Every structure is written in structure tokens, then in C-alpha cells.
């Protein structure tokens, strides 16, 4: 099949069947940027094209199995199936400001095993192909275009650890940033990682305009290692060096994310440790309320004793860090009522 987000493949297909290359370019723009279906876009082309040419164009790579819309905030969760039958979830976020964002999943399940995340409790990770990863964007753009909206931002913050799939991630970013294809500006794309320093450095070197987010969650080693098993391999000093390097390479701020958990990482000693860790780094702090899992895990990875820090204490934390001169936001989670908020994606099979 011919994929419209592959300019070289599309151009070769046009040459082979003697189709005006401008037809291919216009079709790619209509589908990848304007959210048209392939067939609707074909109908808008001026002049006929060979049936063999249009028949070879890839349609939806992912099968949309279920759509769930939040009654509370307008978020939409999409449950797809890959060609292998593996589940894959992504989320369309509609902010009150009008900004539309797609939260992408790069893996069907996540092997990192964070104690607070439902995605990390699903065992072995089936592979996801480049076309399947990008089809989340194609279908989300079409969904928003149908309601008169436009997709503005992309965040790799769904299921999976992007830097464990570094080759796939980089290939996807090449296509997403290509002006002949999706045409996203680098600053409109953010990659979130649990903290793989080498991958962070390589991402910044190859895509300096793409934003990075670090899921830190605790600045005390014993607490972070309890929450994130991989923290035993990559310590806080190593991560601090990586954040500084990313800031130098990109001339931008790394988004440092902290999920506040009652009695676990929200005490005075945690605040002091985080303040010391952030000192002098080019960062913006994002405090996140904990969302209870929508689907319980089968393997016991998820810590079911975790509880959210009360909102009043979350706000106190935000105020304290702002007073220290740290740019700080307190996230408003979207889609919790359909298990689409941060930490809830689990690609259930029911």
C-alpha cells in the first residue's frame, strides 16, 4: 500500500502510473493536514486518476473499535486495534481555550511498570508499526475536521515509553514535521519520557525544536525508585545532567512532571528535595493530580494503595514553587470519567 505521509513512496507511485505529482501532493495535504478521508480527497482532485493509482492508496491502518466521549470535559478516547489485533488507545483533548491536542500511544502496553500507571501493568508489549502510530494522527485530524475543529498539538504521553522505541519515534517525528506531509511545527510536538538520559540527549540532538517532558514524580531516590522501577538504573544526578543538556541543545525548557500522591511524595521533605533538584535547571514544573485507574491490573504492578493529594495541598505546592521563581502549572486532567486521563489508559479488551 502507498502511504500519503511517505513523500518518496508517493512520488514514485505517481511516476510509475504517470500521474501528475501535484495530484499526490494535493491529496496528501487534504488528508494529512485538512482531515479529509482519502476517498473524499480523491473526489476533490481536478481531473481523473487511474483506478490502480487510487486503489493502491492506504486507507485506515488502524481499526477503530470504540469511541468514548467524556460528559465532563469533552475529551474523546479512541480504542484502536492494530493489524496484529493488539489494542491501542489515544485521546483527543479539547481544552476550554479551544486548543485541540492528540495524546498518542507508541506502544500497546508499557514494560516500564510504574506503580501509578495502568498502562504499565499489562505485561508483554506487542509491536506497533510506523503506519499504525501515524494513523492515530490521521484519524484524530479527520474526527476534529468533521466537527469544524483543527488538531494543533501532539503529545507522546499515552501508552508506552517513547524512548524505548527510539527508532520508531524518530521515524514518526520525521514524517510529522515534514512540510510535504503532516506539517507540524516542532514546538507543537512534545515527547514525554520516564527518564532515559541517552535517549533524551539523542532526541534533542536530532530534533532540537521538539519539546521534552520528564516524568520525575519524586526527587528523593528511595521514593522515585518505589514509584518507577527504572529509577534504579538511571539515578537523579544522571537525569539532572540530561535535563541540563537538553536545555542547552534546544534553548527551551524541559517540562518536569510530578504526580502528587497523598503521603508518598507530597511532604515537606519532598518539596525541599524537588526544589534543590530543580535549582538552576531550564525547566517548567507541571504538578499532576492522581487519577485512580479505570481498569484494575491483572499482574499486581499497579499500587492500589495510592491516593491523590488533596487539591488544597496541590495548590499550596504550586504556590510554593511559584514563590521560589519556578514556572509552575497545576494540570487539569481531562477525560477521567472515561478512563482517558493521565495514568488511566489500559486498552481494555471488553
The structural domains of the chain, ordered by start, are 7-55 (no CATH), 63-338 (3.20.20.70)
The pLDDT score that the predictor gives to residue 350 is 43
Active site residue 174: no
Between CA 262 and CA 343 the distance in angstroms is 16
Between CA 276 and CA 95 the distance in angstroms is 32
Between CA 86 and CA 295 the distance in angstroms is 17
DSSP code, position 172? H
Average of pLDDT values for 322-328? 97
Distances (CA, A) of 184 to 152, 173, 175: 8, 9, 9
The answer to whether 113 and 159 are in contact (CB under 8 A) is: no
Average of pLDDT values for 154-171? 96
Catalytic choice (14, 89, 110, 165): 89
Q: What is the pTM of this model?
A: 0.95
- In this prediction, residue 156 has a pLDDT band, given cuts at 50, 70 and 90, of very high
The pLDDT score that the predictor gives to residue 110 is 85
Confidence check: pLDDT of 122 > 70 = no
The answer to whether 107 and 156 are in contact (CB under 8 A) is: no
Query: 215: number of CA atoms within 13 Å, CB side?
Result: 29
If we measure between CA atoms, which residue out of 205, 216, 218, 202 comes closest to residue 164? 202
The pLDDT score that the predictor gives to residue 348 is 55
Confidence check: pLDDT of 293 > 80 = no
Mean pLDDT (the chain, rounded): 93
Confidence check: pLDDT of 349 > 50 = no
Confidence check: pLDDT of 253 > 90 = yes
The pLDDT score that the predictor gives to residue 217 is 97
In tens, the pLDDT along 11-58 reads 999 999 999 999 999 999 999 999 999 999 999 997 788 999 999 999
Distances (CA, A) of 114 to 14, 181, 237, 255, 257: 47, 35, 20, 19, 14
Catalytic choice (110, 117, 190, 342): 342
Distances (CA, A) of 206 to 166, 170, 174, 210: 11, 8, 10, 9
Between CA 305 and CA 99 the distance in angstroms is 35
Active site residue 103: no
Express as a percent the part of the chain with pLDDT over 90. 79
Amino acid at each position: 500500500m502507498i502511504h500519503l505521509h511517505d513523500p518518496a513512496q508517493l512520488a514514485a507511485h505517481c511516476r510509475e502510473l504517470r500521474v501528475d505529482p501535484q495530484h499526490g501532493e494535493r491529496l496528501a495535504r487534504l488528508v494529512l493536514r485538512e482531515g479529509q478521508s482519502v476517498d473524499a480527497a480523491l473526489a476533490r482532485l481536478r481531473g481523473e486518476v487511474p483506478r490502480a493509482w487510487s486503489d493502491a492508496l492506504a486507507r485506515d491502518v488502524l481499526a477503530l473499535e470504540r469511541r468514548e466521549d467524556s460528559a465532563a470535559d469533552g475529551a474523546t478516547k479512541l480504542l484502536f486495534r492494530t493489524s496484529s489485533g493488539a489494542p491501542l488507545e489515544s485521546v483527543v483533548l479539547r481544552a476550554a481555550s479551544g486548543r485541540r491536542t492528540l495524546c498518542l500511544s507508541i506502544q500497546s502496553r508499557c514494560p516500564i511498570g510504574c506503580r501509578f500507571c495502568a498502562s504499565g501493568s499489562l505485561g508483554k508489549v506487542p509491536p506497533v508499526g510506523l503506519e499504525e502510530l501515524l494513523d492515530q494522527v490521521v484519524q484524530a485530524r479527520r474526527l476534529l475536521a468533521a466537527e469544524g475543529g483543527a488538531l494543533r498539538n501532539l503529545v507522546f504521553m499515552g501508552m508506552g515509553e517513547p524512548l524505548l522505541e527510539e527508532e520508531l519515534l524518530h521515524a514518526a517525528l520525521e514524517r510529522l514535521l515534514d512540510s510535504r506531509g503532516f506539517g507540524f511545527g516542532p514546538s507543537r510536538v512534545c515527547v514525554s519520557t520516564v527518564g532515559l538520559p541517552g535517549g533524551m540527549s539523542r532526541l534533542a540532538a536530532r530534533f532540537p525544536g521538539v519539546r521534552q517532558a520528564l516524568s520525575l514524580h519524586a526527587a528523593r531516590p528511595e521514593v522515585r525508585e518505589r514509584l518507577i522501577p527504572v529509577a534504579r538504573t538511571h539515578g537523579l544526578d544522571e537525569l539532572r545532567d540530561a535535563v541540563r543538556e537538553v536545555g542547552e541543545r534546544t534553548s527551551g525548557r524541559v517540562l518536569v512532571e510530578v504526580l502528587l500522591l497523598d503521603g508518598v511524595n507530597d511532604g515537606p521533605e519532598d518539596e525541599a528535595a524537588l526544589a534543590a533538584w530543580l535549582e538552576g535547571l531550564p525547566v517548567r514544573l507541571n504538578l499532576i493530580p492522581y487519577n485512580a485507574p479505570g481498569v484494575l491490573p491483572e499482574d499486581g504492578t499497579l499500587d492500589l494503595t495510592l491516593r491523590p493529594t488533596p487539591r488544597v495541598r496541590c495548590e499550596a505546592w504550586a504556590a510554593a514553587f511559584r514563590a521560589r521563581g519556578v514556572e509552575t502549572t497545576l494540570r487539569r486532567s481531562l477525560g477521567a470519567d472515561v478512563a482517558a486521563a493521565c495514568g488511566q489508559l489500559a486498552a481494555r479488551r471488553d
